[in-house]
Amino acid sequence: MATVSALNKSKVAAILKIAEDLNRIKDIDSLLDRVLFEARRFCRADAGSIYLLEERMLRIQYVQNDTLMRQESGKKLLYQNHAIPVSESSIAGYVAMTRKPLVIADAYAIGRDVPYGFNRSFDGTARYRTRSMLTVPLLASRNRLIGVMQIINALGEDGEAVPFRSEDELVVAYFAHHAAGCIETAKMTREIILRMIGIAEMRDPEETGAHVNRVGAYSIEIYSQWAARHGVADAEVKQVRDVLRIAAMLHDVGKVAISDTLLKKRGPLSTGEYESMQRHVILGARLFRRSTSEWDDMAAAIALNHHEHWDGSGYPGAVDDVASDEWRPGPGKRGEEIPLVARIVALADVYDALSSRRAYKEGWAEERVLGYIREQQGRHFDPELVDVFFSIYDVIRAIKGKYGDA
C-alpha cells in the first residue's frame, strides 16, 4: 500500500495484523466498533463515530467516547439515533460529498470561508468539548460511498486535545478503505440473517427486525456489564460480544418449524398447542448441531436454553439428543446449569416480549414490565443479571429508543 510507506515497518505490521482481524469479524456492529476503536487507538483519540449512508441520509451507527464512558450517565449517549443529510452544511455531509478526508484543528474555530460548520448540539447535551477532528469517507468497491468515519480529539502527552498528525490521516484513510469492504460483507450477513428470522417467525420483517435487533443489543450490554463485574479480560469480552449479538438474534429461529396457525393465534394456547410451541427450542438447537465454530455452539446453547428458568421451572430441561423426536418436557435446568448467555437472552427476550404487542396480547406499560422482572428475580431470572439489568437501565432505554418498531 503506497499510502502507508511513510510509516515504519513495525507500525505497518501492526496495522496489517489489525486488518486481518477485521476480516474475521462477521457482525456489522462488532466490526464498526472495532474499526473505530483501532483507528482511535492509532491516533490516541478520545472519541469517534461512524455514520452509514441510508436513504440519502448519514445515520449515526456507532459512537465511542472515552471521556463520557468514564461518567455515570455517559453510556446512554452512545446509543444516539440521528441522521444528517448529505449536504455541504455539516462536516460529515461535506466529506460524504467531496469523498476526501477533512482535517480540522478546532471545531469551534471553523472559518467562514468554508460551507460546513460544526453542530454543537451533541456537545451541549453531553457537556463535551469537541476540538480536533479527522473525518474520512468510507468508500467500498467501485468507489461507492457507504458512510463516513469521524475521529475526534487526538490527545497529546498531557491528555489535552491536539491537532491530528499527518500520519494519522494516512492510517485512518487506510482503515476506512479496508473497513468499507468488510462492512459491505457484514451488512449482507446481517440482512440474510434477518430474512431467515423473518421467515422463521412468519412475521412482518420490519417488526421482527426491530425485536431481534433489540434482543441482540440488550444481550451484549447485559453481558458486558456482567463481565465488568467479574473482571473478564477485554479481549474475551470483545470476542463474546461479536458472537453473542448474532446468536441472541437467532434465539427463536426454531419457530421456522412451528405452524403459522400457532404463531399467529390470537388467543391463549391450549396445553397441547403450548407443548408444540415449546419444541421451538429443540428445533432451533438442531440447526446448529453440527457445530463447526464457537459461533454454532453459542447459538445452539441459546436456542435450547432461552426458556429455562433460574428456579428450574422452565423448559426443555435436560435433552440428551436434540435430533431425537422422543423428547418430552422434563424438569428444567436450574441456576448455573443454564449457560450464562442463555440466562442473559432469557431476560432480554422477556423484557422485550412483554413490552411489545403480540398476536395474543397487548404490550405492557413499562412499569408493569419492570415490576414483573423484579418479581421474577431469582425465579424466572438469574438474580444477579436482574441487578445488572437495572444498573444499566438507562442504556436499555436508549437501545429501545434506537431500535423502536418502525
Task: For residue 252, state whether it binds ligand SIN (rule: CB under 6 A).
Answer: yes
Is 297 a binding residue for ligand SIN by CB under 6 A? The answer is no
Piece in contact with ligand C2E (CB under 6 A), picked from 33-41, 42-50, 114-122, 262-270: 262-270
User: Is residue 33 a contact residue for ligand C2E (CB under 6 A)?
Assistant: no
Candidates 108-116, 205-213, 238-246, 387-395 — which segment interacts with ligand SIN by CB under 6 A? 205-213
Letters for 134-163 (x = contact with ligand SIN by CB under 6 A, - = none) are ------------------------------
Q: Is 202 in the site for ligand SIN (CB under 6 A)?
A: no
- Which CB sits closer to ligand C2E, 286 or 307? 307
Please select the residue that binds ligand C2E; options are 265, 296, 317, 334, rule is CB under 6 A. 265
Q: Using the rule CB under 6 A, give the single segment among 52-60, 108-116, 131-139, 349-357 that binds ligand SIN.
A: 349-357
Among 229, 358, 374, 397, binds ligand C2E (CB under 6 A): 358
Decide: is 124 part of the binding site for ligand C2E (CB under 6 A): no
Comparing CB distances to ligand SIN, the nearer of 122 and 364 is: 364
Per the annotation, the verdict on 255 as an active-site residue is yes
Measured from the CB atom, is 207 or 394 closer to ligand SIN? 207
Q: CB under 5 to 8 A by kind: which of Fe ion, ligand SIN, ligand C2E, none does 354 bind?
A: ligand C2E
State yes or no: residue 214 binds ligand SIN (CB under 6 A).
Answer: no
For position 349 contacting ligand C2E by CB under 6 A, the verdict is yes
How many Cβ atoms are within 10 Å of 329's Cβ, its own excluded?
Answer: 15
Nearer to ligand SIN, 131 or 343 (CB): 343
22 binds ligand C2E (CB under 6 A): no
268 part of the interface to ligand C2E, by CB under 6 A: yes
Helices 234-249 and 205-229, axial angle in degrees (round to 10): 150
* Residue 358 bridge partners (DSSP): 361
Q: Which of 187, 238, 255, 333 is catalytic?
A: 255
- HSE-up of 165 (CA within 13 Å, CB side)? 12
Kindly identify the residues of this chain, within the stretch 285-344, that bind ligand C2E according to CB under 6 A.
307
From residue 88, how far is each of 63, 97, 99, 271 by CA, in Å? 22, 7, 12, 61
Give the Cα separation of 298 and 321 in Å (integer).
17
When CB distances are held under 5 to 8 angstroms depending on the partner's kind, the choice from ligand C2E, ligand SIN, Fe ion, none that residue 46 binds is none
Q: Is 239 in the site for ligand SIN (CB under 6 A)?
A: no
Distant-in-sequence contacts of 384-390, Cβ < 8 A, 24+ apart: 384/226, 385/222, 385/226, 385/343, 385/344, 385/347, 386/347, 388/222, 388/225, 388/226, 388/229, 389/222, 389/347, 389/351
Q: Which has the closest alpha carbon to 189: 177, 197, 178?
A: 197
> How many of the other CB atoms lie within 10 Å of CB of 238?
15
Positions marked catalytic: 255
Question: Where along the sequence are the contacts to ligand SIN (CB under 6 A)?
Answer: 201, 203, 207-208, 211, 251-252, 280, 306, 349, 353, 356
